Amino acid sequence: MHSWKAFQDKLNYWLVISTSIIFASVGSIFLYATLFIWYKLRLNPNWESSWQYLDYVSTMNIIASVPASILVILLIICLQRRSTAIYTASVYTGITLLIPLASLIAGYEKFAVAVITVGASIYQFALLIRLILKKEVLSEKRCKIEKAGSLILHIGYSLIIFSWVPLNGTKHEIPIFWLATIIVLLGTILSFYGSTIFKLYSQK
Amino acid sequence: MISFSAYHSYRNLLIHLAPYFKVISLFFGILTLIIAIKPPRKFMKLSLVLTLISFAFLTASLILLGVFHNIIFSATYLSIPGLPEPLKLRVPLWIESAKIFFWTLLTVLIQLSFIIFNKNEEAIRITLIATSTMLITTGIFDPFSNPFPQLNQELNNLEAAIQSGLTPASIAYLMNFFYRAKYFYNSQYMWIHPPLLFLSYAFFVLAFPIQFYLLFKKDLNLVLENTSYVLIRSGYLFLTAGMLIGYPWAVEAWQGQSWWWSAKINVSITMWLLYTAYLHARLYIGRKFAGRFSLFLGIISFLLLIFTYLTTYLIPGVHSYA
């Protein structure tokens, strides 16, 4: 029992560190893109008006999608570890990952992104309900409000990606983006200041 | 009609005040650095008084700039056939030559709050190094020596276009300027996106020296580390808000342009991602590797912040002066 808990703790630790490393990797891709643009513009100040720029944009979209996808998959794996209902969580995780994979193979990239982001949002919302119903949700955060905040902000980010990819260019993109922004900021405030809010509320 | 005489007169007044601003800002910056490095006996009281006076000085300078902006607002009125509405320029206080100044003002404000509420002498000494650096930098790159050079050029071009009469070329320039004013200077997002970002930068600049100091310490001082974390998480909240609010502005203002992979956007996203990586690694601050790794990420994130700021001047693009 003790060794299983120690294993889980170690796994959670390395999942979080892996997440940090992947964030840094995605960041390095964007940094490379910045330096690449700088180099190209020094060679040709009109480079952004050329067809090569459009080629660069589509190449970067493909390159960035790989670690971005890994991040979302990691989010779903981390979410799966939040729930104590291990069987249900595992089944849901499997479905949320398999359907997008099949869609990607079939060439429906936007649908794949839609499934994975909506799936992640629903899962996190379900965990939020569990938390409100006073059931256990495993988290690095101690305070319940901070746990809720963490779930809420990740719902927000999932919806942001949903607005950017499947809804890109549609009339729903910006309204969903604004909704997601409010959710992200609310979640961030609760996640960061949850214990302070709780202390102030308790003092009343 | 545009009346430029008041604009030019006040601009020249600001240019005349520039040497005084430089000397005072440099003086406060150097004095702050001295008391941070060699704290005197009544350090806490002295740091409070000095920061308060610096804040008062920067606020007075802000008022002078505010008057300048009001003059631009009052002086520029365009009602030209073909324009959908009259033009009035509402120039914000955080563009071009005023950017470093605005950042410094916010840094000093947060430093002041820090001294009043924190009371940790070591943390205050270290953050004062950042504040002094900002004061010295704003003394060197002051907002008065050449107030808003790009805007000034645009207003001079505007004046020339009007004086040349309603020729096709001047009308084309006026229409172009109208839409530039609508989507840039006068945009409601201009009054939300940059101030939030500069506020985040102010928090980050105060956190940086603490993290840099801790990186070279054998044992991680958790009190100091927590102080840097508190500063970074506040900065992160404003950074996230500012960056997200920039998106609908970009969609509106840069319709039809491939702005997403422009240099400034890329490097800002890199900075945000690195700060996000820091916040995740910091969840396990008690473990040796995560502690050092999070410090390293925090420092790299700040260096990227500096590069993000400089990108506007170094790399051309839709989000750039270069």
Query: What confidence tens digit (pLDDT) does each residue in B165-182 have?
Result: 778 888 888 888 888 888
**B178-204 pLDDT per residue, tens:** 888 888 888 899 999 999 999 999 999
Q: Could you tell me the pLDDT band of residue B315, with boundaries at 50, 70 and 90?
A: confident
How far apart, in whole angstroms, are the C-alpha atoms of residue B321 and residue B150? 8
Torsion sign across C-alpha atoms B102, B104, B107, B113:
negative
Residues of B in contact with A178 (CB under 8 A): 248
The proportion of chain B whose per-residue pLDDT surpasses 90, expressed as a percent, equals: 62
Q: Give percent of chain B with pLDDT exceeding 70.
A: 98
What Å distances lie between residue B171 and B123, B162, B165, CA to CA? 57, 9, 9
Is B260 in contact with A21 (Cβ distance < 8 A)?
no
Asked whether the predicted pLDDT for residue B3 surpasses 70, the reply is no
Q: Using one digit for the tens of pLDDT, what is the confidence trace for B45-57?
A: 999 999 999 999 9
B321 compared with A172, residue with greater pLDDT:
A172
pLDDT at A172: 93
Q: What is the pLDDT of residue A1?
A: 56
Report the amino acid identity of residue A12.
N
Q: Out of B266, B280, B284, name the one closest to residue A33 (CB).
A: B266
**What is the spatial distance between Cα B187 and Cα B254, in angstroms, rounded to a whole number?**
13
> A80 and A90 in contact (C-beta within 8 Å)?
yes
Q: What is the pLDDT of residues B220-277, one digit of tens each?
A: 888 999 999 999 999 999 999 999 999 999 888 887 776 777 888 889 999 999 999 9
Residue of chain B whose Cα is closest to the Cα of A61: B261
For residue B166, give the DSSP letter: S
Which chain A residues are Cβ-neighbours of B262 within 8 angstroms? 37
Q: Which chain A residues have a beta carbon less than 8 Å from that of B233?
A: 192
B241 with A37: Cβ contact below 8 A: no
User: Which residues of chain A lie closer than 8 angstroms to B273, CB-CB?
Assistant: 23-24, 26-27, 30
**CA-wise closest residue to A34 among B16, B270, B10, B48:** B270
Say if residue B27's pLDDT is above 90. Answer: yes
Q: Kindly report, residue by residue over A68-78, the tens digit of the pLDDT.
A: 777 777 887 77
Q: What ipTM did this prediction achieve?
A: 0.89
Look at B79 and B92; give whichever has higher pLDDT.
Answer: B92
Cβ partners under 8 Å of residue A82, min gap 6: A89, A127, A137, A138, A139
Assess contact for B90 and B73: CB atoms under 8 A.
yes
Say if residues A60 and B300 touch (Cβ distance below 8 Å).
Answer: no
Report CB contact under 8 Å: B267, A60.
no
Query: Per-residue pLDDT tens for A84-129?
Result: 666 777 777 777 788 888 887 888 888 888 888 888 888 889 889 8
Percentage of chain A exceeding pLDDT 90? 19
**Of residues A65 and B128, more confidently modeled:** B128
Of B236, B251, B278, the CB nearest to A174: B251
Q: Which residues of B touch A19 (CB under 8 A)?
A: 277, 280
Give me the pLDDT at residue B60, please. Answer: 97
pLDDT value at residue B319: 75
pLDDT of residue A37: 87
Burial level of A6, CB count in 10 A (0-12/13-18/19+)?
exposed
Give yes or no for residue B322 having a pLDDT over 60: no
Q: What is the pLDDT of residues A119-160, one digit of tens each?
A: 888 888 988 988 888 777 777 777 888 989 999 999 999 999
pLDDT of residue A51: 84
Q: How many CB pairs under 8 A join A and B?
A: 107
pLDDT digits (tens, 9 = 90+) for B124-168: 999 999 999 999 999 999 999 999 998 999 888 888 887 887 788
Alpha-carbon gap: A176 to the closest alpha carbon of chain B (Å): 11
pLDDT of residue A84: 65
**Which pLDDT score is estimated for B225?**
93
User: What is the band of A2 on the pLDDT scale with cuts at 50, 70, 90?
Assistant: low
Is the pLDDT at A82 greater than 80? The verdict is no
Give the mean model confidence (pLDDT) for residues B107-121. Answer: 94
